[in-house]
Amino acid sequence: MTWDDILELMGQGEGQSVEFEKSIPAADDIARELVAFSNADGGKIIYGIDDKNQHLVGVDIDGRFEDWVKEIGKEHCSPPITPTLDLVNKADKKIVVITVPEGLDKPYKSDEICYVRDGSTSRPAKDNEEQEMTNPWSGKGLNKRQIRSLQLMTEHGAITNREYREAFNVSHKTAHLELTMLEDKGLAKSEGAGRSTRYIVVPQAA
């Protein structure tokens, strides 16, 4: 992350995937933003910029700040969230950029509340919004491809190694490993042999 990158984000302004803060907020505020971005498509939180007047403010942090933020993601967010941090120096001032990945085990919560990103703000999710982001495979330690493949199996009845490769642009070996992992976890089962092998969803108990 560079100053030019920050200028580009400032030009875009706050929105679904970008949040600016003039100063470092309290831990519960940070947790809320981590949860909201994880429940969306991920995003960046930038501390030390007043985007209202395009002013560089800077923040005062010490060497423990990164550990503190990661501790918030671990202790104040459920499931835990692991953000990455970048420090940008400009005009003797420090800017912190927290990159929040899209979560694989939605919905994420802080203090038992599920937050979502709504334009440039983070707010509690409505019941239907929380339900929509919940799937029966959350919390299973799966990546996005595997979760999507289970959805495809549900929609189309089955998926083959070739279809997995074409859908996600991965190698034959990666497709085999990830599909086999779904079998090992009892989430899918294979039928047939060789190139005709297909994988179908194993219904989960309610």
User: How large is the average pLDDT for residues 147-153?
Assistant: 91
Residues of the chain with CATH 1.10.10.10: 144-201
CATH fold, domain 144-201, is Arc Repressor Mutant, subunit A (1.10.10)
Question: In the CATH hierarchy, which top-level class contains the domain 3-133?
Answer: alpha beta
Confidence band, pLDDT 50/70/90 cuts, at residue 63: confident
- Cβ contacts of 37 within 8 Å, gap of 6 or more: 17, 19, 43, 45, 100, 102, 117, 122
Confidence band, pLDDT 50/70/90 cuts, at residue 141: confident
Determine phi and psi for 78, rounding to 5 degrees: -135, 120
Contact indicator for 152, 159 with CB cutoff of 8 Å: yes
Q: What kind and span of H or E run contains 29?
A: helix 27-39
C-alpha to C-alpha distance for 170 and 93, rounded to whole angstroms? 43
- Among 1-5, 6-10, 77-81, 129-133, which stretch is predicted with the lowest mean pLDDT? 129-133
pLDDT tens digits for range 16-42? 999 999 999 999 999 999 999 999 989
pLDDT tens digits for range 173-186? 999 999 999 999 99
User: How large is the average pLDDT for residues 112-121?
Assistant: 95
pTM for this model (two decimals): 0.74
C-alpha to C-alpha distance for 56 and 171, rounded to whole angstroms? 45
Please determine, for residue 205, whether its predicted confidence score (pLDDT) is greater than 70.
no
C-alpha to C-alpha distance for 116 and 202, rounded to whole angstroms? 30
Q: Classify 137 as helix, strand or coil.
A: coil
Residues of the chain with CATH 3.30.950.30: 3-133
C-alpha to C-alpha distance for 1 and 10, rounded to whole angstroms? 13
